[in-house]
Each structure stands twice: as structure tokens, then as C-alpha cells.
Amino acid sequence: MDPNSVKSTLSNLAFGNVMAAAARDYQKELIAQDKAQTSSSINQEVDLDELMDDPELEKLHADRIAALKREVEKREALKKQGHGEYREISEGDFLGEVTGSEKVICHFYHREFYRCKIMDKHLKALAQSHLDTKFIKLDAENAPFFVTKLGVKTLPCVILFRKGVAIDRLIGFQDLGGKDDFTTKSLEILLMKKGIISEKEDNEEDDYPESRRKTVRSSVDPDSDSD
């Protein structure tokens, strides 16, 4: 037998054994990694289960649900009292309306006055976004007793009530620049300063964009009020 041939055969066998051993080692490493990943997943699941059973987390969740429930109940109660819309009332309803809510805005108006119609449009827009305050209006011609009692002499006259007491008023547009083209936002800011409506938490830079302000102004036709 050729010695060189024997050496070559032995060398090939040794190389084959090395490769086989390497393959076994690689397979063992893959199995170990798979076991480690499985163990990690199991541990993670256990941690999540423990977290879901955490009494502090459950209390936070319960408190949040309770707070949301109270807020919904509050909103529903306010709507039943007439909040969230701009309503016309009669003189006979006046006392009940202004004493039935903590904060009330009442517009004394005349049906034929152009400026009263402008004020109507702005108050209607604000009533929908300030639920904590009640917005109502009263025809001055049909409410002579309270017109005299409250000293209403110029229309539009917007009187602000807190707990049934008149605390302030807007006479005409004198606090709004004296012009007809004031914006809903400017009226909103003025009423906030007087403390009769609250600033919204999510208040944007301008809740009443130009397109909406134009709609408010254009919806009042000055020609319709001329005699």
C-alpha cells in the first residue's frame, strides 16, 4: 500500500471528524439559543401577568373609570338643566333659570335690532363649547318687570349671573370695540376675563377660524332689519 495514499486517507478522515464535531457543536448552540428565547418569553409572560394583578395598577384603572363616569354624569345633568344650547325663555321662567345654575348668561334682546342678532350668533356658538355655563335670551319687550328691575336701558344687554346674582353686564358692543364685526373669540375672551365661562383645557390658538367667523357675520342680513 502506498504510504502517501494511507496518509491522505487518514487526513481526510481527521478532517471529516473535525467537521462533524463542529456541526454537532453548532447544533448544540442553536438548541441552547432556542431554549434561552423560550425561557425569556416565559419570564416575560409571568412578568406581565404579575403586572396585570398589581393592586396599584388596578386602583389607578378603577379611579380613571370612576372619574370618566362622574364627568359623563355631570355633563348629562347640565344638559338636563338646559346647558349646551342657546335657548329663549319667557319672563315667567326667568327666576328659575338664573337660580337653577351656578353660572348663567342672559341676553336681553329686541327681535328687530340688528345688533341683537349679531350677539345671538356669537352666544349660540359659545353655548355649545362652554357646557358649565347656561346661555339664555329673553325678549325685552315681553319682560317689562325684569327689564325695569335690572335697569336694562340699552340693547343688546347681556347680564351675567352667578348663583342667581347679577355680577356684571355687557351693554351694546362698547366692551368689544364698539363695532359690529367683532369675533366670537373676542367675546369668549371677554367673558373668560369676567369669570363667567372657563378656559377650555384643549383651547387652541383660535377655536373660531376665519371661515366660521365669516359664517357668523354673513348669516345676519342687515337688509332684513330695515323698516
Q: Convert the pLDDT of each residue in 113-140 to its tens digit.
A: 999 999 999 999 999 999 999 999 999 9
**Contacts with 73 (C-beta within 8 Å, 6 or more apart), sequence order:** none
Residue 225 vs residue 5, higher pLDDT: 5
What DSSP string runs through 126-183? HHHH-TTSEEEEEEGGG-HHHHHHTT--SSSEEEEEETTEEEEEEETTGGGTTSTT--
Q: Alpha carbon 191 to chain centroid distance? A: 19
Residue 32 vs residue 216, higher pLDDT: 32
CB 137 within 8 A of CB 107: yes
Check whether 223 has a pLDDT greater than 50: no
Q: What is the mean pLDDT of residues 50-66?
A: 73
The percentage of residues in the chain with a pLDDT greater than 70, rounded to a whole number, is 61
Evaluate if pTM is beyond 0.75: no
**Distance between first and last Cα of the chain:** 133
pLDDT given at position 187: 97
Q: Quickly state the pLDDT bin for 87 (edges 50, 70, 90).
A: very high
Q: Quickly state the pLDDT bin for 158 (edges 50, 70, 90).
A: very high
pLDDT given at position 206: 45
CB 155 within 8 A of CB 140: yes
pLDDT given at position 151: 96
* Cα–Cα dist 180/172, whole Å: 10
- Average pLDDT over all residues of the chain: 78
* Cα–Cα dist 171/174, whole Å: 7
How many CB atoms sit inside 10 A of residue 222's CB?
Answer: 10
Lowest mean pLDDT among 51-65, 80-94, 104-118: 51-65
Check whether 205 has a pLDDT greater than 60: no
Q: What is the mean pLDDT of residues 170-188?
A: 96
Among 44-53, 102-111, 191-200, 212-221, the range of highest mean pLDDT: 102-111
Strands 86-89 and 134-139: parallel
Q: What is the mean pLDDT of residues 96-125?
A: 96
pLDDT given at position 224: 40
Q: Quickly state the pLDDT bin for 68 (edges 50, 70, 90).
A: confident
Residue 136 vs residue 79, higher pLDDT: 136
Lowest mean pLDDT among 41-50, 57-66, 200-209: 200-209
